[in-house]
């Protein structure tokens, strides 16, 4: 299965860091029953966050606009299992299993487009909330429980395998805390287990640090689950954290750096898996990247307003994995051109 079709990822900065594990808090009255549809944010064949409109306006370098209509696959041959990032606005340390607008919005923004190729499954899970992250390291009595969140994801994965997979290939997709959940799932349930790894087309763990020996594709956090280096490769990993090319990560950044001697944060460029700099096949939020980013400026100077939820800007953005001191990350370049009527100001930074 070629991976190139799956790599139209929205390039956004990284959400809040995943917290270290803390002692478990008191469990809720009942554990999730993933046989129940209401424990899933997205399921195939129903109207939910992952069936949100995905039409895109192609804005050419000349300023000319045309609409690319989105059409989900009628009979997809493989599945996608998506775990969303840290977005919950619940006031408790761990989220409940009732999706708010924030969970629905991020799934529509990050996961729904994959329905062009796969059946999308996205479990609700009791993630560490934004409020829970703020309480970590304080003396607040109620502390966030990472084990609770991971237990939900693991249970959802087990239910999917038992009832839905039926030998189909699957792509794992995560961002931020969701990537951290899938990182642990791969380490415990897939890495080094040939039968389990064989069903994985690829894993896309965006916005988390995966340790790998410098210059190597295996080792570190995963012993036998390599980085993807070509589009025909399967059972492999796509991972990066992103910074603008013209900036240097702050010295105290938790992203793009690992503590283990001889290790670096793994980086795979989705636009050029073999390495080097390349133009992206980008899909960008018309009004911004969501996840707390700024509002996007008009896409074309003196041009008509874009009315679709997404924009494609051919030739505007390039990416390259770089090593900058102790940091290893995906450098994102906006190819500014004074003769190009398109904006050079792309929202997406999260501070």
Q: In what order do the strands lie in the sheet with 56-59?
A: 65-68, 56-59, 310-312, 284-285
Q: Which pLDDT value is given to residue 241? A: 98
**What residue spans of the chain are helical by DSSP H?**
101-110, 130-135, 146-160, 177-189, 194-198
Q: What angle do CA 167, 170, 176 make, to 5 degrees?
A: 150
The list of the chain residues with pLDDT below 50 reads 1-29
In angstroms, the CA 19 to CA 208 distance is 11
Q: Annotate 57-122 with DSSP letters as a single string.
A: EEE-TTS-EEEE-----SS-SEEEEEE--S----SSSB--SS--HHHHHHHHHHTGGGGGTEEEEE
With residue 264 as reference, give the H or E element that holds it.
strand 263-265
pTM of the model: 0.91
Q: Which pLDDT value is given to residue 140? A: 61
With residue 243 as reference, give the H or E element that holds it.
strand 242-244
Q: Which pLDDT value is given to residue 293? A: 67
Domains detected in the chain:
4-9+25-54+71-277 (3.40.50)
């Amino acid at each position: 299965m070629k991976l190139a079709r799956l790599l139209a990822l929205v390039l956004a900065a990284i959400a809040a860091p995943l917290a270290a594990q803390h002692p478990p808090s008191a469990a809720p009255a009942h554990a999730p029953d993933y046989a129940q549809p209401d424990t899933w944010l997205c399921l195939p064949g129903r109207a939910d966050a992952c069936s949100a409109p995905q039409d895109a306006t192609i804005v050419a370098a000349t300023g000319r606009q045309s609409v690319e209509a989105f059409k989900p696959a009628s009979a997809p041959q493989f599945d996608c299992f998506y775990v969303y990032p840290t977005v919950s606005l619940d006031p408790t340390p761990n989220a409940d299993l009732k999706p708010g607008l924030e969970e629905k919005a991020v799934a529509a923004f990050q996961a729904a487009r994959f329905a062009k190729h796969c059946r999308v499954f996205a479990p609700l899970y009791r993630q560490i909330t934004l409020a829970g992250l703020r309480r970590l390291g304080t003396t607040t009595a109620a502390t966030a429980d990472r084990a609770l969140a991971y237990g939900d994801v693991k249970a959802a994965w087990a239910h999917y395998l038992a009832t839905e997979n039926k030998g189909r290939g699957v792509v794992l997709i995560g961002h931020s805390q969701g990537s951290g959940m899938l990182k642990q799932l791969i380490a415990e349930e897939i890495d080094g287990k040939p039968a389990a790894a064989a069903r994985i087309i690829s894993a896309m763990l965006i916005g988390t640090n995966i340790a790998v020996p410098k210059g190597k594709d295996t080792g570190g956090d995963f012993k036998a689950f390599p980085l993807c280096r070509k589009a025909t490769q399967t059972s492999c990993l796509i991972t990066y954290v992103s910074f603008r090319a013209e900036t240097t990560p702050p010295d105290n950044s938790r992203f793009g750096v690992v503590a283990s001697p001889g290790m670096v944060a793994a980086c795979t460029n989705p636009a050029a898996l073999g390495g080097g700099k390349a133009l992206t096949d980008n899909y960008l939020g018309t009004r911004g990247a969501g996840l707390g980013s700024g509002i996007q400026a008009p896409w074309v100077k003196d041009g008509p307003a874009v009315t679709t939820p997404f924009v494609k800007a051919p030739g505007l953005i390039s990416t390259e994995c770089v090593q900058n001191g102790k940091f290893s990350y995906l450098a994102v370049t906006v190819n500014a051109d004074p003769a190009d009527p398109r904006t050079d100001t792309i929202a997406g930074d999260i501070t």
